[in-house]
Structure 1
């Protein structure tokens, strides 16, 4: 578990750097590509939106551990590629999953289905999210669920069930999904797999038992608290540039519809129980836009209305080395993130000019800043 200080910092909106040793692969941080806001991927089964993502962002099967689970000999027939993206201002993670397999198993209506299983813990709380294989360390109070007359220490009780998938989420994605939901949200808040909190589109040309290439694009919304009673009682994870999130996936490969034996169980984590223990997840960094042209952007927040004290924040894209703020009241500042007290009430035209190696850019906001 993270310290109370780190958790409090996350709630306050700070960019949190997790102690890497608390998660899997402490020497490795994977990257999440930032899409520009005018090039958000469309979930339509046409994958050209992803062409702009460099190969350096691809997580291949060479990064995954063959867990196998003792079922059969490790499956050597898979070829897996994954890209992950995000868009600044949207609390969504976008995925492109590509897999080649010699035998696609998806004819049965239940859980027996070739699977891409994604687990996300965006606020780095760590700890168990599913009780399977973790009943010895399961502590329901970690996720703050409501009290129950049933014993929280007893697996299967109402309180115990209520905790599943609340503080971190597991998406058991069917590949392909045919005549069934695209994913099983493993836990009590099953609504997280539904639009607008998630969406998916796939492409394939094979039938069950055949070989071929499968492609899937989708997005999910990570939650600090995904309440079983619905989104109205839930808290989305706030995705911020340069922040770390815990994220991982498993590929389960079935090759025999007559049994539940798996021919392959591949995990991005070195720890097989990562599907239910967020502390076993690797870390990903939400990257800035690559090769971004300089563009002035800024935001503001009233700190004290009685004193008309306003905090301004530079949100510019690209490399800025100089800032000039015109507050619209005859005063200015060259700080990057100034705090300014307006002498009189009013509605102000406030302007930020930024300079950098790539030139200059200006952003004015007309009457956004209004003080009484």
Structure 2
């Protein structure tokens, strides 16, 4: 009996050790949080002027506060709003490939007197097509690649990292960590500040900016660049961190407040978090409005696909293709017999009324 009990105990101990070893080799638990990006109406695009007026329409449910961040330096167990308090809202506009940011921060000690990288920083990383993987030279998967070749061909190319100085005094508003500084300039980015404090003082800072995410951004400039395509309900990868230098001589007071909770999110897009590009809020939608686009499917055969993009609840569609033919389908294909430039008209009807959208000579076939 004792031998049986001894064998059972040994077996249990072996199983327990096996489980512990398995747990120790497992990947960190996946972060299941997700966030929202507010869609601004096309007639209410935020002005980059350092004021918050344009953002009053954005509900607080879109705000990401410091309670969502943790200090990767492990100097602070939890955030103290008397020391540092931040709130971030992100927006977008349908038809643009831009991300708009409102960064509001209170700090009890603002550090921005030096001309180098030592500066309070808002670090934003974005991987808009969620291609994932590493994107800085030191993390290049091919360890045989020479350092500078990795830097110029890889660093910041498929995902981008912006070190934004808060505030920037006597220096550019941001360091783009990579070999493509052109992406921080107009028309791809812009920034404005609003604050009333000096280095070493406390106070509130408002930073307003936009950036353009890229699926490909090379050192050669915009000639070969590919902007990330932004559209409703798309999920992009993004994260940010706040680097807080409260005392240059005391590292225990320096915080690295990370939204991702994975420290190397700054160079590995796998550690970014999902952000959803939200549809337009009901408050700003038209009850009914006709709209459409088209794509020439086969120019040789003059075949065109028409895409309904109307707003509101639509019960019926009537397409006039401009050549004497029509269709009642929502998404018709049409083959033109003759080359020409056509006036195409879409009429829609629903419970809210009727609407028309014509486009003059947009549709042309040869």
**TM-score when normalising by structure 1:** 0.84
SS of 2:183's equivalent? Answer: helix
Q: CA deviation at 1:328?
A: 2.0
- Deviation at residue 322 of structure 1 after TM alignment: 3.8
**Alpha-carbon distance change, 208 to 357 in structure 1, aligned in 2, over 3 angstroms:** farther
Report how far residue 122 of structure 1 moved: 0.6
Given candidates 314, 326, 337, the residue that maps to 2:320 is 326
Classify the secondary structure of the residue corresponding to 2:289: coil
| Cα deviation code 1:294-348 (max 9, x no counterpart) | 3222111211122210011122244445432221223222332221112333332
1:242 deviates by: 1.5
CA contact (8 A) 1:130 1:276 kept: yes
1:37 and 2:42 matched: yes
Distance 1:203 1:81 in 2: 15
Find 1:300's aligned residue among 273, 291, 294: 294
Residue 231 of structure 1 aligns to a residue whose secondary structure is coil
User: Are positions 1:193 and 2:184 aligned together?
Assistant: yes
Structure 1, unaligned runs of 5 or more: 1-20, 141-151
CA deviation profile, 1:121-152 (whole Å, cap 9, x unmatched): 011110001244x3xxx225xxxxxxxxxxx6
Aligned counterpart in structure 1 of residue 172 of structure 2, from 181, 184, 193: 181
Q: Any idea what SS the aligned residue of 1:354 has? A: strand
Higher relative contact order (CA 8 A, sep 6+): 1
Q: Distance in 1 between matches of 2:124 and 2:152?
A: 20
CA gap 1:357/1:169 in 2 versus in 1, 3 angstroms: farther
Between structure 1 and structure 2, the one with the greater Rg is 2
Aligned residue-pair number: 335
Deviation at 1:219, TM superposition (A): 0.5
Match of 1:128 among 134, 139, 143: 134
In structure 1, how many angstroms separate the alpha carbons of the residues matched to 2:164 and 2:351? 45
Q: Please give the residue correspondences for 1:105-254 in structure 2 after superposition, counting only pairs within 5 Å.
A: 105-132=111-138, 134=139, 138-139=140-141, 153-154=144-145, 156-254=147-245
The equivalent residue for 1:8 is none
Stretch moving more, 339-348 or 104-113: 339-348
Tell me the TM-score normalized by structure 2: 0.85
The reply on whether 1:370 has 2:364 as its aligned counterpart is: yes
Task: Report SS of the residue matched to 2:223.
Answer: helix
Match of 1:266 among 250, 257, 273: 257
2:52 equivalent in structure 1:
47
Q: Structure 2: how far apart are the matches of 1:67 and 1:356?
A: 53
1:202-228 residue CA offsets vs partner (Å, 9 max, x unmatched):
100011111111101100011111011
Map Cα deviations across residues 22-79 of structure 1 (whole Å, 9 max, x no partner). x9633x3311111122221111223211112122211122222x13324566552222
Instruction: Select the residue among 266, 269, 278 that pairs with 1:287.
Output: 278
> What is the CA RMSD across the aligned residues, in angstroms?
2.3
Q: Distance in 1 between matches of 2:79 and 2:247?
A: 13
**Could you tell me which of 256, 268, 275 is aligned with 2:266?**
275
1:89 is matched with 95
- 1:143 match: none
Q: CA deviation at 1:280?
A: 0.4
Q: Which residue of 2 aligns with 1:98?
A: 104
More helix by share: 2
2:246 to 255, 258, 263: 255
Q: CA deviation at 1:160?
A: 4.6
Residues 109 and 244 of structure 1: CA distance in aligned 2, closer, same or farther (over 3 Å): same
Structure 1 contact 204–215 (Cα < 8 Å) conserved: yes
